[in-house]
Structure 1
Amino acid sequence: FTDLMSNHKRHSTRTGELMGEFGRLYEQQYAVALFNKMRYDIEGGGGPQNQLLHRKMPLKNKSIFSGALFQYLEENKKWRNRFLFIPDSYNINYYENKQAHDRGLHPKGTINCAGYRVLTSMEEYLELLNTSLPGVKAKVGSSPFLKCATQFPLILWHPYARHYYFCMVTEKEQQKWNALFQDCVRHTNNGLPEECKVQTPAFTDAVRLYRQTHGHYGTWDMMCGMPPQILANLVMETLLPEMRDLITPKLKGKMHERQRNWMLISDAVYGLVQSQTQAQYEAVVQSCEAGRPALETTIRTDMDQIITSKEHVCSKIRALVLPKAEKLLKVSIQPYISSILDALMEPTSRGFFEVRDLFFRELVDMSKNLLNDGNKEKLGEHMEKISMLAFHPVKMQSCYEKVETLSLEGLQQRFDVSSPSVFVQRAQILMREQMDDAVYTFEQLLHQSLEGQEREDLCKTTQRCQDRVIKKFDYDSSTVRKKFFREALLQIFIPYMLKQLSPSCSELPRFQELIFEDFSRFILVENIFEEVVLHTVMKDIMMAVKEAAVQRRHNLYRDSIVLTNSDPNLHLLGENPPIDWAEEYGGGQEEVDGENAGDPEAQKRRRMKQVVSMIQIEGNASVLPNESCLEVPTVDNIPEEEAEVRSENPPWASLLPEAFLITTVAVSAAMAGKTHSIHGIYGYRDAGQVSWNK
């Protein structure tokens, strides 16, 4: 630690320098993103209209799951039964027991799953662990702190943060907890809020440009979580090797003790880095937001002149870049488009087909039950469950598994794609959104149709609504998949082309002189360069996807087929308040316990419903004897203050060096003659302002 302390000032200075450069890039991209948003608002986006409705707050008054399992406690090296509660944030709160949760106590800890991986075996875990310290190799069973309580472990692994160890009694239980944990990771990895039309593209573009200046053009697995986490991941990406070289020779003790101490040090540094990046990032954002009104005034006043100036500069850059880009496209891109598209389409389409089948099976099961014992009370019970189908990770697991077979073997090194998980998780998020859109549309149509209906009409009404929604799902599914394929191909090819073309385009900075100083904040040469490259390859990508749509095996609608809105009043239903099926058709809410009858918080907790009510083996209504995952019927939400996401750092953590920073990626482009922001290290958007982050 003497060596660490002696380098404290150097690392602190470096962190400030790096954050300073990121802040400069963010300010530049903030003005560009604001201009793109305002132009997009005026010109509009066009494109096909969605047929399904979209739920605005799907998890309002809902939690995902709560239950008990075994957790390994590092402080005393013991396995203990712990109660886990997963709210709608998808953070995992763990308590000493269920009583502590019910009493409203703070959780023992909270796990933010961004950047984590869920492992189901010690062999898989040790393989990753052995890469963390050079020369330190572990074997299963050789380390006391790695001995599991049962043969069914689940491990949350992170390259920088603390690891978490859990065990289950049965294999079925392990599979279902695995589905829950995977959903937590998937949700938190999904990234930045799409409704932030300026801050999100500004951040991702600034990170991308910073990363490109350091030679990193491809995808990056750790583009996970919110901006401070992403920036901290970038810091650790470079800081960790330096720390390892400095600290590894000084770690003493047995193998497992050295590994454990290294993980504690890495976790402590990661916590310090996040606190630094959060404070500095918030300061940058606050500064930009303070100057936003002045920028908006300038854009409104000079919009036409800014557009004209940009098109003039764009024509000059296109004349320089286009011949080189077209040559590169012909030799290195076109031969691979069809094969990569096929690799993307087959597993993705299987996943969406499974979503459709699952939705259909659930409605058929409900219809059968209504046929045998059909009344509105029973309908309310079934619809209460179906309404949360998209957010039931255990039921949706069969859909998610279909796309996990996606492989880009042989292409990852050529195009610098770090992992297919980038595309897998994005496809899974889209599948969940499509499922919820279908369910929500069915809910609204059924609820409207039930008004004044008698008992004998329930099955017919359900069938009629189901058929209408299935048709709309097929159309929207085709639209969403084609957009996903275009964006995935852009994500693969654009970084590769930028990396190959940048050295031969050293003349680009001189084009900045052609831009009026008053407009220079909204027109950046590096952004225009990327737009020109994107336009070069976009024509081939659009053609490849269009040709694929003609092939019947992909079950895609042709671009020429435009489904008109056959339900002109349907979208008006989307403005209706959420339907509480249990209250409206199931006899209302239960009474609150007498001692809490006057407590509004207790009443709120009683209204809270769980998406997954319990984990058990199918076909068995009771929990197995001695099973660690206990049934928790109608678990209430306990309102709690925001818990710390990580444990308190040890006293010596303050002596560690402040980490330095590197950052990552995104892009801006003009499509169909209009400028739209395309951003995100994991998403080159072909239209619109929506962010795609992993």
Structure 2
Amino acid sequence: MGDVVSSHLDESRRETITARTRDVMREFGAVYQQQYAVALFNSVRYEIEAGGGTQSQLLHRKDPLAGRSIFSGSLFQYLEENRKWRSRFVSVPNSYAINLYESKTANERGLHPKVTINCAGYKALDSLEEYMELMNTSLPGIKAKVGNHPFIKCASEFPLILYHPYARHHYFCVMSEKEQKKWHAVLQDCVRHCNNGLSEELTVETPAFTDSVRKHRQAQGHYGTWDMMCGTPPQILANLVMETLHPELRSVIGPRLKGKMQQRQRNWMLISDAVYRQVLSQTSSQYGALVDTCEAQRAPLDARLRTDMDQIITSKEHVSGKIRALVLPKVEPLLRTSIQPYISSILEALMEPTSRGFSEVREVFFREMVEISKNSLNGGAKEKLGEHMDRLSMLAFHPVKMQSCYEKVEELNLEGLQQRFEVCSPNVFVSRAQILMREQMDNAVYTFEQLLNQSLKDQGEEDMCKNVQRCQDRVLKKYDYDSSSVRKKFFREALLQIIIPYMLQQLSDSCSPELPRFRELIFEDFSRFLLVENMYEEVVLQSVTKDIMMAVKEAAVQRRHNLYRDSIVLTNSDPNLHLLGETPQVDWAAKFGSEEPDSAANGGTEEGGSGSRRRQVVSMIQMDGLPLAYESCMEVPGVELIPEEDVETCDDKSEDKSEDEEIPEEPRSPDSVDEIRDLINPVVEVAVPVSGEEEQSPVTNLMEPTDSTITAEDGLQEEVTHVTTVVEKVPRNSIKKSPQTLLKELLGSEGQEPTKDEQVESAVEIVTEEMLEAVQEEDSQLITEVSAAESDSDPPPLLPTDSSSRDDNGFQSPTNQESDEGVKVPITNGLSGEDKTIDPVEVEVILA
């Protein structure tokens, strides 16, 4: 593998890649410094003018995943180095990075993971067919034939693949469909979170960065949306470099690759990953230096803005008016013919799946409320309520429970409109809608927690069900309003993302050459904050904003979309609720006394040396009938261990199996020295009832040498070398059989002939004589009571025969007679003339 990469990426080619990355970063840096000053101006102006939209009705949690991890468990990873599958313990912390460890023990010890995967830009796949469709487009002129297999052979029928257009792919597999669904949901959530790497709280850096990337791509002729605008700024910049560099390298290196189609695809993936890592290391260092340079200039720029804000705003309005006079006559025909007829169809395509997704969020939240109400109605304990509330607090970050909501939005389809407006993929809008859905779910859950906690403080815990119902109704009303506001804002932004790039592209030939002359109207002192290109885009945006707002208002009137009208504005409708937002988050596990979560189920790890366990959002999968996580395995398990679809290996069906059902053990080789000795000297156990009370019997389990023979089951004569007595404890109240009855059971039924072995008969006679002597020494009254109890009692239950129930007390009985299983029953009458509990003895006969 290393030879393949080094042979195609020699020193000269690496220098070419470095030079190309440096050129892109230089062009981007010049644009970023301009956009940084403009973004700072917009941020300070927004702060001074105190602008803003409608106020949220739900509370916002500051750090929802504090002290939490998302998921952990074991799966199998395919290693490119040796082309083998290896067991790996995977931990997904609250940063949503995927950490791969050698074993669970390595994770618990705090060792560094073997591999850490940042999922930004990846796609989580669960089928090899879908993966091969993407791989077939990786190299030009190479198409896989129908039925061709990929270059990896999956160890099970449940694969999981992380695909990236530039970086290395990661292959995993699990052993059941249930595991696959849960892991796939977790991987999708990791991708979704990592793609949303730009923080909205950075009111200067984030707008400056997004505008710079958009303008850089427009200079290259790319006006539409970009589905690789995902991850942190260095990752996005690496994608920006690879957007043009990757096709060039593919056209040069692709024809030189040797081998079969699968091998060529595999080698190209390794080469592409090496290039991507080299580019990413450069963009990370150069972007950090660029941000530091801009931040050093922020303080003097901010001071100048606050001093000259009025003059800057006046100058901007003057120049914008001039640009508007130039642009509007050219914009109006474009709006009438190419924009207005399509706004309603674009909006409809966006609203249907998005509204279903937000409705599903409401339904999932409502179902959780019903479960809590059931617990309170059924008189559930406080600990049970604490468990419900603890799980509810992480509902928004539970990928499996939220999967039904996310799937509704994935049905979004812009086909037809996609080609007209150069929308590369609807994934940009799907991911954004899913992030908003998760935020709304967490806001609803957090608001309910705070309301319920306040209600319990004020009204106590007497009528829990009413308190839950009252808080639930308040939260659902606020959710309906907030989700309506969030969706309308999302629709407006999505329409602008689709329409504005198309309009700029259509107007670029007629308007762009005339823009430079407007720079003369801007004072030099204000030229850093007022850019003609930005004002031109604002004029184009304002020209279509009215049509977009009207379309969204008309959609709000239709009740099927569950949108509030814009005339309904709730401002400061619940001031007491917003005061609760200042209180700390409720720890329900500690509040109701279940502070220690199940570490095995939660997969917690020690955090920061504080001794507290990090609780896990998604529970681990417990597979019955399979080795535990294969933690010590080096190779993938055999195919016979892979459960079939119709065989339930999980907890749901394991209880249905009969406990009495015996499964014969397969023959295997001995694992210890004792087992080898048992094979050389077989042991035959004969259960014989004896008398004696454990408190008064001084005799323990003994082994005595003897010389005799015994007939085995196969008819062979075996020599008996030792006879060992083993005594079991039996309670006194289990006396149910007379010595005569027990003797008959030992000798067999009337129609059954005893064994012909003389040694065995003599041993049985000795035992019988001792039993009769013990019976004769007891008084007749006790014999009468025993006989009465014997006639009224039921058949005795089978006694345990394993070594864990045996005791050292008892007496020795030299016999080698085999008896049927289940006849080891205690009798009464001690040897000393007292009532005693008679214990059964298993006689161990060791055959030479």
Shift of 1:97: 1.3
1:172-321 matched pairs, under 5 angstroms: 172-321=178-327
Letter in 2 for 1:202: A
Contact 1:92/1:111, CA 8 A, preserved across alignment: yes
Q: Which residue of 2 aligns with 1:549?
A: 556
- Per-residue displacement from partner, 1:194-221 (whole Å, max 9, x unpaired)? 1111111111111111111111110011
- Per-residue displacement from partner, 1:551-599 (whole Å, max 9, x unpaired)? 1111111100112433211111111112111011124347999xxxxx9
Q: Is 566-575 or 341-350 further displaced after alignment? A: 566-575
Q: Name the CA distance, whole Å, in 2 between partners of 1:236 and 1:560.
A: 47
- Per-residue displacement from partner, 1:375-422 (whole Å, max 9, x unpaired)? 433221110000000000000001011111110110111001011111
Shift of 1:327: 1.2
Q: Which residue of 2 aligns with 1:430?
A: 436
1:227-626 matched pairs, under 5 angstroms: 227-451=233-457, 453-505=459-511, 506-589=513-596, 601-604=608-611, 606-615=612-621, 623-626=623-626
Letter in 2 for 1:61: G
Q: Is 237-246 or 3-12 further displaced after alignment? A: 3-12
Letter in 1 for 2:39: A
Contact 1:22/1:210, CA 8 A, preserved across alignment: yes
Q: 1:255 to 1:558 in 2, by over 3 A?
A: same
Contact 1:168/1:629, CA 8 A, preserved across alignment: no
Which of the numbers 121, 130, 133 marks the counterpart of 1:124? 130
Q: 1:181 to 1:147 in 2, by over 3 A?
A: same
Q: Secondary structure at the match of 1:82?
A: strand
Q: 1:181 to 1:592 in 2, by over 3 A?
A: closer
Shift of 1:627: 7.6
Shift of 1:430: 0.5
Asked if 1:48 is matched to 2:79, the reply is no
Q: Name the CA distance, whole Å, in 1 between partners of 2:269 and 2:501.
A: 33
Shift of 1:260: 1.6
Q: State the percentage of identical aligned residues.
A: 71
The answer to which structure, 1 or 2, has the higher relative contact order (CA under 8 A, 6+ apart) is: 1
Contact 1:549/1:557, CA 8 A, preserved across alignment: yes
Q: Name the CA distance, whole Å, in 2 between partners of 1:245 and 1:298.
A: 51
Contact 1:434/1:473, CA 8 A, preserved across alignment: yes
- Per-residue displacement from partner, 1:591-628 (whole Å, max 9, x unpaired)? 999xxxxx983434x3311010223xxxxxx6332288
Q: 1:628 to 1:27 in 2, by over 3 A?
A: farther
Q: Name the CA distance, whole Å, in 2 between partners of 1:584 and 1:445.
A: 15
TM-score, normalisation: structure 2: 0.71
Q: Which residue of 2 aligns with 1:674?
A: none
Q: Name the CA distance, whole Å, in 2 between partners of 1:164 and 1:600.
A: 28
Q: Secondary structure at the match of 2:324?
A: helix
Q: Secondary structure at the match of 1:601?
A: coil
Q: Which residue of 2 aligns with 1:644?
A: none
Q: Secondary structure at the match of 2:386?
A: helix
Q: Which residue of 2 aligns with 1:165?
A: 171
Q: Which residue of 1 aligns with 2:103?
A: 97
Contact 1:235/1:273, CA 8 A, preserved across alignment: yes
Q: Name the CA distance, whole Å, in 2 between partners of 1:592 and 1:174.
A: 23
Q: Name the CA distance, whole Å, in 2 between partners of 1:627 and 1:357.
A: 38
Question: Please, which runs of 5 or more residues in structure 2 have no aligned partner?
Answer: 1-6, 601-605, 632-848
Q: Name the CA distance, whole Å, in 2 between partners of 1:42 and 1:415.
A: 37
Contact 2:151/2:263, CA 8 A, preserved across alignment: no
Q: 1:60 to 1:558 in 2, by over 3 A?
A: same
Contact 2:132/2:150, CA 8 A, preserved across alignment: no
Q: Name the CA distance, whole Å, in 2 between partners of 1:601 and 1:589.
A: 17
- Per-residue displacement from partner, 1:303-338 (whole Å, max 9, x unpaired)? 000000000000000000011111111110000011
Shift of 1:152: 1.1
Q: Name the CA distance, whole Å, in 2 between partners of 1:525 and 1:89.
A: 40
Q: Name the CA distance, whole Å, in 1 between partners of 2:564 and 2:628.
A: 48
Q: Secondary structure at the match of 1:450?
A: helix
Q: How many residues align?
A: 619
Q: 1:382 to 1:209 in 2, by over 3 A?
A: same
Contact 1:28/1:521, CA 8 A, preserved across alignment: yes
Q: Name the CA distance, whole Å, in 2 between partners of 1:365 and 1:488.
A: 37
Contact 2:122/2:191, CA 8 A, preserved across alignment: yes
Contact 1:53/1:571, CA 8 A, preserved across alignment: yes
Q: 1:10 to 1:380 in 2, by over 3 A?
A: closer
Q: 1:208 to 1:555 in 2, by over 3 A?
A: same
Contact 1:122/1:140, CA 8 A, preserved across alignment: no
TM-score, normalisation: structure 1: 0.86
Q: Is 346-355 or 67-76 further displaced after alignment? A: 67-76
Shift of 1:18: 2.3
Q: Name the CA distance, whole Å, in 1 between partners of 2:316 and 2:163.
A: 47
Question: Please, which runs of 5 or more residues in structure 1 have no aligned partner?
Answer: 594-598, 616-621, 632-694
Contact 2:21/2:279, CA 8 A, preserved across alignment: no
Q: Which residue of 2 aligns with 1:684?
A: none
Q: Name the CA distance, whole Å, in 2 between partners of 1:629 and 1:235.
A: 41
Letter in 2 for 1:521: R
Contact 1:55/1:436, CA 8 A, preserved across alignment: yes
Q: 1:170 to 1:318 in 2, by over 3 A?
A: same
Contact 2:418/2:425, CA 8 A, preserved across alignment: yes
Q: Secondary structure at the match of 2:21?
A: helix
Q: Is 43-52 or 373-382 further displaced after alignment? A: 373-382
